[in-house]
Amino acid sequence: MIIYNDDGYIVSCPKCGSGDLIRNGLNDTVKPKHRWKCNECNYKTVSPVLGEPDIIRESVKLAKQKQSFQDRNRIERKTFREYARLDNALHTLSSKILGVLREHKFHKSIKTHPKKRKAVGVIHLSDLHFNELVNLPNNKYDFGVASKRIKRHIEAAKTYFSTQHISNVVIALTGDLINSDRRLDEMLTNSTNRAQAVFIAADILQQAIIDLNQSYNVTVACVSGNEARVHKEYGWTDILATDNYDFTIFNILRALFMGTKVDFVSGDPMELVLNVANQNLLLLHGHGSITAKHESSVNQIKGRYASRGMHIDYVISGHIHSARIGDTYARSSSLVGANDYSEKALNLSGRASQNLYVFYKNGNRDGIKVDLQYVDNKGYNIDKSLEAYNPKSQEKLSTKTTILEIKI
């Protein structure tokens, strides 16, 4: 039904363009106006559109198309800006890392040891979350604590492996080497920026490799985690999975030991299979592929590889921050232990620990969890000029520092 106003114009809805309006009383003003209600969209107004309905509908249609194009252009411009910022950030990161590498000297005194083929040791390093700050009554964590815990783990490995007639050791990095900074609470609890954090992490790990090499031949393998990714969304393709600070650290280590006898294994950035003492060991982080039903998830993964003609003997992962060693798989805890998120958001308590394994040529394998919660040993060296803590650092809050001293 077409409605005309008192002046003879067709009354149409300004929202949907319909001419099917009815009078809906008067508004409460000094000069009352007719209130109109659209029977198609129920929109109420005192300012209907006056004119021909077909023209009005076409105008509304064109306005909607225009708005759609504007929204699409706005989204595209926002996406381009975000990727431009990301590209600039990566360029800055690369420049900083290269600058730091030029300024600092690294030790490359690498030894070669006679190979004993009875067994191979595996040092599992997962969820190290370098750059995170934790200051709980039951747990403290920063680069200094991380360095002590890593060194304690290496010492435990050397003690354990010395009884097993081992000469070859694999360092298995299964992701989340650097803490995330995507959430606000993560940004507030990080020690420094990611460029410097990446370098400190690589420096600590290269000292661990050199320490371990005093007694063993060393091979390093790495898969990426989810927390160290560059992009907000996680990608499963190789090009996105390697756009990850875990691989930045891995490649820095590879560059530092280039030309030495330390081997670095490249492959699938998400899942890497190593043949260790004639056993196929699968490395993965665990996000997405490992569910709460851990054993069932592992069996599904092994089945997937079996369909390709490859038998997987053992699977090691991390991600969940809870240690477990089973017959066909093992999961490492985190180096951090409990933090605000695990205790207050997830209502979970945890301890810092990492795993060690020995794979024997006859098909046997052993595994132990090394508790690293409380350490009083000396850690690996840290360049204090790079360890620029944010204001949440308790040490910075409690220590008086002279910023500038002028002597007359």
Can you give the pLDDT at residue 262? Answer: 93
Can you give the pLDDT at residue 398? Answer: 47
Can you give the pLDDT at residue 390? Answer: 53
Residues pairing with 49 in the sheet: 12
Question: What percentage of the chain carries pLDDT values higher than 70?
Answer: 73
**DSSP conformational letter for 116:** -
Q: Is residue 14 part of a domain?
A: no
Give the H/E segment covering residue 283. Answer: strand 279-284
Can you give the pLDDT at residue 196? Answer: 82
Q: Is residue 245 part of a domain?
A: yes
Can you give the pLDDT at residue 294? Answer: 75
Can you give the pLDDT at residue 397? Answer: 40
CATH code of 149's domain:
3.60.21
Can you give the pLDDT at residue 273? Answer: 95
**In 180-278, where do the E strands start and end?**
217-222, 263-265, 271-276
Can you give the pLDDT at residue 367? Answer: 97
Q: Is residue 40 part of a domain?
A: no
Q: Is residue 263 part of a domain?
A: yes
- Look up the domain containing 300 and give its range: 104-398
CA distance 125 to 328: 19
Question: Which parts of the chain sit beneath pLDDT 70?
Answer: 1-9, 29-30, 51-57, 60, 79-109, 181-189, 227-243, 289, 291-292, 341, 344-348, 386-408
CA distance 358 to 361: 10
Phi and psi at 61, nearest 5°, equal: -60, -45
Can you give the pLDDT at residue 396? Answer: 45
pTM: 0.71
Number of domains in the chain: 1
Can you give the pLDDT at residue 354? Answer: 97
CA distance 288 to 192: 29
Q: Is residue 321 part of a domain?
A: yes
Can you give the pLDDT at residue 258? Answer: 86
Phi and psi at 367, nearest 5°, equal: -155, 140
Specify the amino acid at residue 261: K
Phi and psi at 190, nearest 5°, equal: -100, 145
pLDDT digits (tens, 9 = 90+) for 183-212: 666 666 677 777 788 889 999 999 999 999
CA distance 118 to 161: 12
Q: Is residue 79 part of a domain?
A: no
Q: Is residue 3 part of a domain?
A: no
Q: Is residue 32 part of a domain?
A: no
